[in-house]
Amino acid sequence: MADFALTIFTSKGTLQQIENASQAVNKGETALGIKTKSCVVLAVEKKISSVLVDESSFHKVQAISSNSGAVYSGLGPDFRVLMQQARKHAQTYALSYREPILISNLVRETAQIVQEYTQSGGVRPFGISTLIAGFDDDGPHLYQIDPSGAYYEWKATAIGKNMKNAKIFLEKRYKHDLELEDAIHTALLTLKENFEGQMSSKNIELGIIDKSRVFRLLTPSEINDYLTGLES
Amino acid sequence: MSIFDYNGGGIVAMKGKNCIAIGADRRLGQQMKTVSTNFKKIFRMQDNILLGLGGLATDIETFSAEMEYKLNLYNLRENRKLKPTAFVSLVSSTLYEHRWGPYFVSPIVVGLQDGTPVISTYDSIGCTTDTENFAVAGTAGELLYGLCETYYREDIPAEELVEIIGQILLAGCDRDALAGWGGVVYLLTTDNLHIRELKTKQT
Protein backbone atom coordinates (compact mmCIF):
# COMPACT_ATOMS: atom_id res chain seq x y z
CA MET A 1 0.00 0.00 0.00
CA ALA A 2 1.64 3.24 -1.15
CA ASP A 3 2.07 5.90 1.52
CA PHE A 4 2.74 8.58 -1.04
CA ALA A 5 0.47 10.58 -3.31
CA LEU A 6 -0.18 9.05 -6.71
CA THR A 7 -1.60 12.29 -8.07
CA ILE A 8 1.16 14.87 -8.38
CA PHE A 9 1.63 18.08 -10.35
CA THR A 10 3.37 18.07 -13.72
CA SER A 11 5.80 20.86 -14.52
CA LYS A 12 3.06 22.46 -16.57
CA GLY A 13 0.92 22.85 -13.47
CA THR A 14 -1.59 20.16 -14.34
CA LEU A 15 -2.73 17.06 -12.50
CA GLN A 16 -2.54 14.36 -15.12
CA GLN A 17 -4.47 11.81 -13.09
CA ILE A 18 -7.47 14.14 -12.84
CA GLU A 19 -7.34 14.86 -16.55
CA ASN A 20 -7.22 11.14 -17.19
CA ALA A 21 -10.18 10.64 -14.88
CA SER A 22 -12.09 13.26 -16.86
CA GLN A 23 -11.28 11.25 -19.98
CA ALA A 24 -12.84 8.20 -18.38
CA VAL A 25 -15.93 10.29 -17.62
CA ASN A 26 -16.14 11.54 -21.18
CA LYS A 27 -16.15 7.99 -22.44
CA GLY A 28 -19.04 7.11 -20.18
CA GLU A 29 -22.70 7.00 -21.13
CA THR A 30 -24.47 10.33 -21.30
CA ALA A 31 -26.33 11.53 -18.23
CA LEU A 32 -28.26 14.77 -17.84
CA GLY A 33 -30.19 16.81 -15.36
CA ILE A 34 -32.83 19.55 -15.63
CA LYS A 35 -33.90 21.80 -12.75
CA THR A 36 -37.03 23.91 -13.06
CA LYS A 37 -38.96 26.13 -10.68
CA SER A 38 -40.80 23.14 -9.24
CA CYS A 39 -38.79 19.97 -9.85
CA VAL A 40 -35.53 18.28 -10.89
CA VAL A 41 -35.22 15.47 -13.44
CA LEU A 42 -32.22 13.16 -13.93
CA ALA A 43 -31.88 10.92 -16.97
CA VAL A 44 -29.23 8.50 -18.21
CA GLU A 45 -28.49 5.97 -20.93
CA LYS A 46 -28.20 2.43 -19.67
CA LYS A 47 -26.81 0.26 -22.46
CA ILE A 48 -26.79 -3.38 -21.43
CA SER A 49 -24.01 -5.48 -22.88
CA SER A 50 -26.13 -8.60 -23.43
CA VAL A 51 -29.81 -9.59 -23.47
CA LEU A 52 -28.94 -12.00 -20.70
CA VAL A 53 -28.29 -9.17 -18.23
CA ASP A 54 -31.13 -8.55 -15.78
CA GLU A 55 -31.42 -4.79 -16.25
CA SER A 56 -33.76 -4.40 -13.28
CA SER A 57 -31.09 -5.64 -10.90
CA PHE A 58 -28.97 -2.52 -10.91
CA HIS A 59 -29.69 1.18 -11.18
CA LYS A 60 -27.58 4.03 -12.43
CA VAL A 61 -29.92 6.60 -10.91
CA GLN A 62 -29.99 6.18 -7.14
CA ALA A 63 -31.41 7.97 -4.12
CA ILE A 64 -28.95 9.36 -1.59
CA SER A 65 -31.58 10.26 0.98
CA SER A 66 -35.33 10.65 0.79
CA ASN A 67 -34.93 14.16 -0.60
CA SER A 68 -31.95 13.69 -2.93
CA GLY A 69 -30.66 11.40 -5.67
CA ALA A 70 -27.79 11.11 -8.10
CA VAL A 71 -26.64 9.79 -11.46
CA TYR A 72 -23.18 9.48 -12.99
CA SER A 73 -21.03 9.13 -16.07
CA GLY A 74 -17.91 7.01 -15.86
CA LEU A 75 -16.96 4.05 -13.70
CA GLY A 76 -19.96 2.40 -12.07
CA PRO A 77 -18.10 0.92 -9.09
CA ASP A 78 -16.62 4.32 -8.22
CA PHE A 79 -20.16 5.72 -8.16
CA ARG A 80 -21.25 3.03 -5.71
CA VAL A 81 -18.43 3.92 -3.32
CA LEU A 82 -19.21 7.63 -3.47
CA MET A 83 -22.93 7.00 -3.00
CA GLN A 84 -22.29 4.99 0.14
CA GLN A 85 -20.25 7.82 1.65
CA ALA A 86 -22.81 10.45 0.63
CA ARG A 87 -25.64 8.41 2.11
CA LYS A 88 -23.78 7.97 5.36
CA HIS A 89 -23.16 11.69 5.59
CA ALA A 90 -26.84 12.48 4.99
CA GLN A 91 -27.90 10.02 7.67
CA THR A 92 -25.35 11.24 10.20
CA TYR A 93 -26.76 14.73 9.77
CA ALA A 94 -30.34 13.49 10.15
CA LEU A 95 -29.32 11.66 13.33
CA SER A 96 -28.12 14.84 14.99
CA TYR A 97 -30.73 17.27 13.75
CA ARG A 98 -33.70 15.03 12.93
CA GLU A 99 -34.03 17.06 9.76
CA PRO A 100 -33.13 16.34 6.14
CA ILE A 101 -29.74 17.71 5.14
CA LEU A 102 -29.54 20.79 2.90
CA ILE A 103 -28.47 19.74 -0.61
CA SER A 104 -25.70 22.36 -0.69
CA ASN A 105 -24.27 20.84 2.48
CA LEU A 106 -24.50 17.28 1.10
CA VAL A 107 -22.81 18.24 -2.17
CA ARG A 108 -20.06 20.21 -0.44
CA GLU A 109 -19.19 17.29 1.81
CA THR A 110 -19.35 14.73 -1.01
CA ALA A 111 -17.13 16.94 -3.17
CA GLN A 112 -14.74 17.16 -0.25
CA ILE A 113 -14.41 13.37 -0.31
CA VAL A 114 -13.76 13.43 -4.07
CA GLN A 115 -11.06 16.07 -3.55
CA GLU A 116 -9.41 14.07 -0.79
CA TYR A 117 -8.91 11.21 -3.22
CA THR A 118 -6.80 13.58 -5.36
CA GLN A 119 -4.52 14.47 -2.51
CA SER A 120 -4.14 11.33 -0.39
CA GLY A 121 -1.63 8.48 -0.30
CA GLY A 122 -2.22 5.29 -2.23
CA VAL A 123 -5.49 6.22 -3.92
CA ARG A 124 -6.50 7.35 -7.38
CA PRO A 125 -9.18 9.95 -8.19
CA PHE A 126 -12.79 8.88 -8.71
CA GLY A 127 -13.47 8.10 -12.37
CA ILE A 128 -16.91 9.71 -12.40
CA SER A 129 -18.72 12.96 -12.72
CA THR A 130 -21.95 12.87 -10.80
CA LEU A 131 -25.14 14.91 -11.03
CA ILE A 132 -26.94 15.35 -7.71
CA ALA A 133 -30.60 16.39 -7.61
CA GLY A 134 -32.47 17.37 -4.49
CA PHE A 135 -35.23 19.44 -2.94
CA ASP A 136 -34.83 21.24 0.39
CA ASP A 137 -36.04 24.37 2.19
CA ASP A 138 -34.21 26.46 -0.42
CA GLY A 139 -36.12 24.77 -3.26
CA PRO A 140 -34.95 22.43 -6.06
CA HIS A 141 -31.23 21.96 -6.73
CA LEU A 142 -29.05 20.38 -9.40
CA TYR A 143 -25.31 20.04 -8.77
CA GLN A 144 -22.40 18.48 -10.66
CA ILE A 145 -19.28 17.08 -8.99
CA ASP A 146 -16.17 16.46 -11.13
CA PRO A 147 -13.23 14.08 -10.47
CA SER A 148 -11.21 17.05 -9.22
CA GLY A 149 -13.73 17.70 -6.47
CA ALA A 150 -14.98 20.90 -8.07
CA TYR A 151 -18.73 21.34 -7.89
CA TYR A 152 -21.17 23.55 -9.73
CA GLU A 153 -24.86 24.28 -9.46
CA TRP A 154 -26.72 24.08 -12.76
CA LYS A 155 -30.14 24.87 -14.21
CA ALA A 156 -29.57 22.07 -16.70
CA THR A 157 -26.50 20.15 -17.80
CA ALA A 158 -25.17 16.94 -19.30
CA ILE A 159 -22.08 14.80 -18.70
CA GLY A 160 -20.45 11.93 -20.55
CA LYS A 161 -20.10 10.99 -24.23
CA ASN A 162 -22.59 13.40 -25.76
CA MET A 163 -22.40 16.22 -23.28
CA LYS A 164 -21.53 18.86 -25.86
CA ASN A 165 -24.48 18.18 -28.13
CA ALA A 166 -26.80 17.58 -25.22
CA LYS A 167 -25.89 20.92 -23.63
CA ILE A 168 -26.41 22.76 -26.89
CA PHE A 169 -29.83 21.13 -27.16
CA LEU A 170 -30.66 22.01 -23.55
CA GLU A 171 -29.57 25.61 -24.00
CA LYS A 172 -32.19 25.96 -26.70
CA ARG A 173 -34.94 24.04 -24.96
CA TYR A 174 -34.50 24.97 -21.31
CA LYS A 175 -37.19 27.06 -19.60
CA HIS A 176 -37.18 27.83 -15.92
CA ASP A 177 -40.90 27.38 -15.40
CA LEU A 178 -41.34 23.99 -17.04
CA GLU A 179 -43.68 21.71 -15.15
CA LEU A 180 -42.58 18.17 -14.22
CA GLU A 181 -44.22 16.57 -17.27
CA ASP A 182 -42.51 18.99 -19.65
CA ALA A 183 -39.16 18.62 -17.91
CA ILE A 184 -39.34 14.86 -18.31
CA HIS A 185 -40.32 15.32 -21.94
CA THR A 186 -37.35 17.65 -22.54
CA ALA A 187 -34.98 15.23 -20.78
CA LEU A 188 -36.11 12.38 -22.99
CA LEU A 189 -35.80 14.46 -26.15
CA THR A 190 -32.26 15.46 -25.16
CA LEU A 191 -31.30 11.83 -24.58
CA LYS A 192 -32.89 10.81 -27.85
CA GLU A 193 -30.80 13.36 -29.80
CA ASN A 194 -27.73 11.15 -29.70
CA PHE A 195 -29.15 7.80 -28.77
CA GLU A 196 -27.97 4.85 -30.83
CA GLY A 197 -30.88 2.58 -31.52
CA GLN A 198 -34.38 2.61 -30.10
CA MET A 199 -34.98 4.16 -26.64
CA SER A 200 -37.00 1.95 -24.32
CA SER A 201 -37.64 1.50 -20.62
CA LYS A 202 -34.88 -1.13 -20.64
CA ASN A 203 -32.06 1.12 -21.83
CA ILE A 204 -32.69 4.42 -20.05
CA GLU A 205 -33.35 5.48 -16.46
CA LEU A 206 -35.15 8.53 -15.08
CA GLY A 207 -35.23 9.94 -11.59
CA ILE A 208 -37.40 12.83 -10.42
CA ILE A 209 -38.00 15.00 -7.37
CA ASP A 210 -40.66 17.67 -6.96
CA LYS A 211 -42.38 19.63 -4.19
CA SER A 212 -43.18 16.36 -2.40
CA ARG A 213 -39.43 16.28 -1.60
CA VAL A 214 -39.28 12.56 -2.25
CA PHE A 215 -36.77 11.36 -4.83
CA ARG A 216 -37.94 8.44 -6.90
CA LEU A 217 -37.16 6.49 -10.03
CA LEU A 218 -39.76 6.32 -12.77
CA THR A 219 -41.04 2.77 -13.21
CA PRO A 220 -40.51 1.04 -16.57
CA SER A 221 -44.21 1.37 -17.38
CA GLU A 222 -44.13 5.11 -16.61
CA ILE A 223 -41.10 5.49 -18.88
CA ASN A 224 -42.94 3.62 -21.61
CA ASP A 225 -45.90 5.99 -21.29
CA TYR A 226 -43.63 9.01 -21.66
CA LEU A 227 -41.84 7.45 -24.61
CA THR A 228 -45.14 6.82 -26.35
CA GLY A 229 -45.97 10.43 -25.64
CA LEU A 230 -42.72 11.39 -27.32
CA GLU A 231 -43.75 9.76 -30.58
CA SER A 232 -46.89 11.87 -30.72
CA MET B 1 -24.78 13.66 48.08
CA SER B 2 -25.58 13.67 44.39
CA ILE B 3 -23.35 15.57 42.00
CA PHE B 4 -26.47 17.28 40.71
CA ASP B 5 -27.01 18.82 44.16
CA TYR B 6 -23.52 20.28 44.61
CA ASN B 7 -24.12 23.78 43.24
CA GLY B 8 -27.92 24.07 43.55
CA GLY B 9 -30.50 25.80 41.41
CA GLY B 10 -34.07 26.09 40.23
CA ILE B 11 -35.27 26.48 36.65
CA VAL B 12 -38.85 26.60 35.40
CA ALA B 13 -40.29 27.09 31.91
CA MET B 14 -43.89 27.47 30.79
CA LYS B 15 -45.82 27.82 27.53
CA GLY B 16 -48.19 30.72 26.93
CA LYS B 17 -50.26 32.06 24.05
CA ASN B 18 -47.74 32.42 21.21
CA CYS B 19 -45.09 33.06 23.82
CA ILE B 20 -42.86 31.22 26.21
CA ALA B 21 -41.18 32.07 29.51
CA ILE B 22 -38.24 30.54 31.36
CA GLY B 23 -36.97 31.58 34.75
CA ALA B 24 -34.02 30.61 36.92
CA ASP B 25 -32.56 31.48 40.30
CA ARG B 26 -29.17 33.15 40.57
CA ARG B 27 -27.42 31.20 43.30
CA LEU B 28 -24.09 29.48 42.87
CA GLY B 29 -23.14 27.45 45.94
CA GLN B 30 -20.62 24.92 47.06
CA GLN B 31 -22.88 22.71 49.08
CA MET B 32 -23.93 24.87 52.02
CA LYS B 33 -21.73 27.87 51.18
CA THR B 34 -23.11 30.49 48.80
CA VAL B 35 -20.37 31.73 46.49
CA SER B 36 -22.22 33.93 43.98
CA THR B 37 -25.61 35.58 43.70
CA ASN B 38 -25.61 36.32 39.98
CA PHE B 39 -24.74 33.05 38.30
CA LYS B 40 -26.19 32.68 34.81
CA LYS B 41 -28.27 29.58 34.09
CA ILE B 42 -30.28 30.71 31.06
CA PHE B 43 -28.53 31.30 27.74
CA ARG B 44 -29.79 32.98 24.61
CA MET B 45 -28.86 30.59 21.79
CA GLN B 46 -30.70 32.44 19.03
CA ASP B 47 -33.44 35.08 18.69
CA ASN B 48 -36.05 32.40 19.15
CA ILE B 49 -34.25 29.75 21.22
CA LEU B 50 -33.29 29.81 24.90
CA LEU B 51 -31.39 27.15 26.84
CA GLY B 52 -31.81 26.80 30.59
CA LEU B 53 -29.53 24.48 32.56
CA GLY B 54 -29.69 22.98 36.03
CA GLY B 55 -27.07 20.75 37.64
CA LEU B 56 -23.31 21.04 38.09
CA ALA B 57 -22.26 24.66 37.49
CA THR B 58 -19.03 23.92 35.61
CA ASP B 59 -20.97 21.70 33.24
CA ILE B 60 -23.67 24.38 32.87
CA GLU B 61 -20.97 26.72 31.57
CA THR B 62 -19.17 24.17 29.39
CA PHE B 63 -22.28 22.62 27.91
CA SER B 64 -23.82 25.97 26.99
CA ALA B 65 -20.50 26.89 25.35
CA GLU B 66 -20.43 23.64 23.38
CA MET B 67 -23.99 24.27 22.14
CA GLU B 68 -23.03 27.79 21.11
CA TYR B 69 -20.02 26.38 19.25
CA LYS B 70 -22.20 23.89 17.38
CA LEU B 71 -24.80 26.53 16.61
CA ASN B 72 -22.19 28.92 15.19
CA LEU B 73 -20.73 26.23 12.94
CA TYR B 74 -24.23 25.33 11.80
CA ASN B 75 -24.93 28.95 10.85
CA LEU B 76 -21.68 29.10 8.87
CA ARG B 77 -22.13 25.77 7.11
CA GLU B 78 -25.82 26.01 6.40
CA ASN B 79 -26.13 29.76 5.97
CA ARG B 80 -29.38 29.75 7.90
CA LYS B 81 -30.76 29.88 11.45
CA LEU B 82 -31.45 26.76 13.44
CA LYS B 83 -35.07 25.75 13.85
CA PRO B 84 -36.04 25.18 17.50
CA THR B 85 -36.95 21.54 16.77
CA ALA B 86 -33.54 21.01 15.19
CA PHE B 87 -31.84 22.56 18.22
CA VAL B 88 -33.84 20.25 20.50
CA SER B 89 -32.45 17.26 18.59
CA LEU B 90 -28.94 18.71 18.58
CA VAL B 91 -28.96 19.01 22.39
CA SER B 92 -30.09 15.42 22.68
CA SER B 93 -27.42 14.05 20.35
CA THR B 94 -24.71 16.18 21.98
CA LEU B 95 -25.64 14.81 25.42
CA TYR B 96 -25.53 11.24 24.11
CA GLU B 97 -22.11 11.84 22.52
CA HIS B 98 -20.90 11.97 26.11
CA ARG B 99 -22.83 8.87 27.14
CA TRP B 100 -19.88 7.36 29.01
CA GLY B 101 -18.65 10.58 30.59
CA PRO B 102 -21.77 12.75 30.72
CA TYR B 103 -22.36 16.40 31.46
CA PHE B 104 -24.12 16.59 34.81
CA VAL B 105 -26.78 18.97 33.58
CA SER B 106 -30.55 19.04 33.35
CA PRO B 107 -31.27 21.09 30.23
CA ILE B 108 -34.51 22.81 29.28
CA VAL B 109 -34.81 24.12 25.73
CA VAL B 110 -37.41 26.77 25.09
CA GLY B 111 -38.27 28.23 21.67
CA LEU B 112 -40.79 29.67 19.25
CA GLN B 113 -41.11 27.83 15.94
CA ASP B 114 -43.17 29.94 13.54
CA GLY B 115 -44.92 31.43 16.53
CA THR B 116 -45.64 28.06 18.17
CA PRO B 117 -44.11 27.51 21.62
CA VAL B 118 -41.71 24.59 22.03
CA ILE B 119 -40.40 23.24 25.36
CA SER B 120 -38.16 20.21 25.75
CA THR B 121 -36.43 18.77 28.74
CA TYR B 122 -33.79 16.04 29.04
CA ASP B 123 -31.97 13.79 31.42
CA SER B 124 -28.19 14.09 31.49
CA ILE B 125 -27.70 11.64 28.62
CA GLY B 126 -30.16 13.01 26.14
CA CYS B 127 -33.54 11.40 26.75
CA THR B 128 -35.85 14.07 25.31
CA THR B 129 -39.29 14.94 26.63
CA ASP B 130 -41.32 17.39 24.55
CA THR B 131 -43.68 18.80 27.11
CA GLU B 132 -47.06 20.33 26.43
CA ASN B 133 -47.20 22.79 29.28
CA PHE B 134 -44.19 23.37 31.54
CA ALA B 135 -40.83 21.97 32.59
CA VAL B 136 -38.64 22.18 35.67
CA ALA B 137 -35.01 21.46 36.50
CA GLY B 138 -32.54 21.80 39.34
CA THR B 139 -32.54 20.98 43.03
CA ALA B 140 -35.77 22.99 43.41
CA GLY B 141 -37.40 21.10 40.52
CA GLU B 142 -39.87 18.99 42.45
CA LEU B 143 -40.90 22.02 44.51
CA LEU B 144 -41.56 23.99 41.35
CA TYR B 145 -43.72 21.23 39.88
CA GLY B 146 -46.46 21.67 42.48
CA LEU B 147 -46.79 25.38 41.76
CA CYS B 148 -46.73 24.80 38.00
CA GLU B 149 -49.60 22.35 38.24
CA THR B 150 -51.61 24.81 40.28
CA TYR B 151 -51.07 27.91 38.17
CA TYR B 152 -50.81 26.55 34.64
CA ARG B 153 -53.66 26.90 32.18
CA GLU B 154 -53.74 26.95 28.39
CA ASP B 155 -53.04 30.13 26.44
CA ILE B 156 -51.79 32.35 29.22
CA PRO B 157 -51.18 35.83 27.77
CA ALA B 158 -47.59 37.09 27.80
CA GLU B 159 -47.84 39.77 30.52
CA GLU B 160 -49.52 37.30 32.85
CA LEU B 161 -47.03 34.54 32.06
CA VAL B 162 -44.10 36.63 33.29
CA GLU B 163 -45.91 37.25 36.57
CA ILE B 164 -46.83 33.61 37.02
CA ILE B 165 -43.35 32.28 36.28
CA GLY B 166 -41.88 34.87 38.62
CA GLN B 167 -44.17 33.86 41.48
CA ILE B 168 -43.61 30.15 40.87
CA LEU B 169 -39.86 30.63 40.85
CA LEU B 170 -39.76 32.66 44.03
CA ALA B 171 -42.09 30.43 46.01
CA GLY B 172 -40.46 27.23 44.83
CA CYS B 173 -36.86 28.33 45.42
CA ASP B 174 -37.77 29.75 48.83
CA ARG B 175 -38.37 26.20 50.01
CA ASP B 176 -35.01 24.95 48.70
CA ALA B 177 -31.93 25.84 50.71
CA LEU B 178 -29.68 25.44 47.68
CA ALA B 179 -31.71 27.62 45.28
CA GLY B 180 -32.71 31.27 45.40
CA TRP B 181 -30.70 34.42 46.08
CA GLY B 182 -32.42 36.31 43.27
CA GLY B 183 -34.18 35.33 40.09
CA VAL B 184 -34.42 36.18 36.40
CA VAL B 185 -37.26 35.58 33.97
CA TYR B 186 -36.90 35.55 30.17
CA LEU B 187 -40.10 36.11 28.19
CA LEU B 188 -39.91 35.18 24.51
CA THR B 189 -42.59 36.47 22.14
CA THR B 190 -42.63 36.61 18.36
CA ASP B 191 -41.57 40.28 18.56
CA ASN B 192 -38.86 40.29 21.16
CA LEU B 193 -37.15 38.93 24.23
CA HIS B 194 -38.00 40.58 27.54
CA ILE B 195 -35.75 39.97 30.53
CA ARG B 196 -36.98 40.72 34.01
CA GLU B 197 -34.90 40.52 37.17
CA LEU B 198 -36.74 39.45 40.30
CA LYS B 199 -36.11 41.07 43.63
CA THR B 200 -35.96 38.61 46.50
CA LYS B 201 -35.27 39.15 50.19
CA GLN B 202 -31.59 38.66 49.75
CA THR B 203 -30.72 40.02 46.31
pLDDT, position A179: 95
Check residue A123 and report its DSSP letter: -
Contact A230, A185 (CB under 8 A): yes
Helix locations, A99-162, DSSP H: 103-116
> What contacts B42, CB < 8 A, 6 or more positions away?
B11, B22, B23, B24, B50, B51, B52, B53, B184, B186
What mean pLDDT is predicted for residues A112-117? Answer: 98
Directed axis angle between helix A220-231 and helix A180-193, to 10°? 80
DSSP state of B11: E
Per-residue pLDDT at A232: 67
Contact A95 B93 (CB under 8 A): yes
Q: Is the pLDDT of residue B202 over 90?
A: no
DSSP character at residue B107? E
Residue B192 and residue B203: Cα distance in Å, rounded?
Answer: 26
Query: A215: left (phi > 0), else alpha (psi -120 to 50), else beta?
Result: beta
| Neighboring chain B residues of A102 at a CB cutoff of 8 Å | 78, 80
Asked whether the predicted pLDDT for residue A117 surpasses 70, the reply is: yes
Give the gap in angstroms from C-alpha B90 to the nearest C-alpha of chain A: 5
Q: 0.80 cut: is pTM over it?
A: yes
Question: Please, what is the average pLDDT of chain A?
Answer: 95
CA distances from B191 to A35, A107, B52, B153 (A): 37, 36, 21, 23
| 3-state class (DSSP) for residue B19 | strand
- Angstrom distance (rounded) from CA A4 to CA B35: 58
Query: What is chain A's percent helix, strand, coil content, to nearest 5?
Result: 40, 25, 35
The Cβ of residue A211 has, within 10 Å, a number of other Cβ atoms equal to 11
Helix, strand, or coil (residue B33): strand
**Longest Cα separation, chain B:** 47
CA distance A168 to A158: 10
Q: Does A94 touch chain B (CB under 8 A)?
A: no
Q: Which residues 75-114 of B are in CB contact (within 8 Å) with A?
A: 77-80, 83, 85-86, 89-90, 93
When scoring A93, A97, A141 by the number of chain B Cβ atoms within 10 A, the one with the most, hence best to mutate, is A97
Question: Are residues A96 and B83, on separate chains, in Cβ contact within 8 Å?
Answer: no
Of the candidates A95, A98, A105, the beta carbon closest to that of B78 is on A105
pLDDT tier for residue A3 given thresholds of 50, 70 and 90: confident
Contacts of A104 in chain B (CB under 8 A): 79
Cα–Cα dist B10/A228, whole Å: 70
Half-sphere exposure of A91 (CA within 13 A, CB side): 8
**pLDDT for A181-203, tens place per residue?**
999 999 999 999 999 999 999 99
Residue type for A162, please? N
Compute the distance between CA of residue A76 and CA of residue B69 in angstroms, rounded to an integer.
39
Residue range B50-81, pLDDT digits in tens:
999 999 999 999 999 999 999 999 998 888 99
pLDDT at residue A186 in the model: 97
Please tell me which residue of chain B has the smallest CA distance to A108.
Answer: B77
pLDDT over 80 at B150, yes or no? yes
ipTM exceeds 0.85: no
**Is there a contact between A98 and B83 if contact means CB atoms under 8 Å apart?**
no
**Residues A52-72: what's their mean pLDDT?**
94
d(CA B93, nearest CA chain A) in Å: 5
> What distance in Å separates the CA atoms of residue B150 and residue B153, rounded to the nearest whole number?
9
Is A96 in Cβ contact with B90 (below 8 Å)?
yes
Q: CB within 8 A of A211, min separation 6: which ones?
A: A38, A39, A135
Handedness of CA B63, B64, B69, B72 (dihedral sign): positive
Residue A99: Cβ within 10 Å count: 16
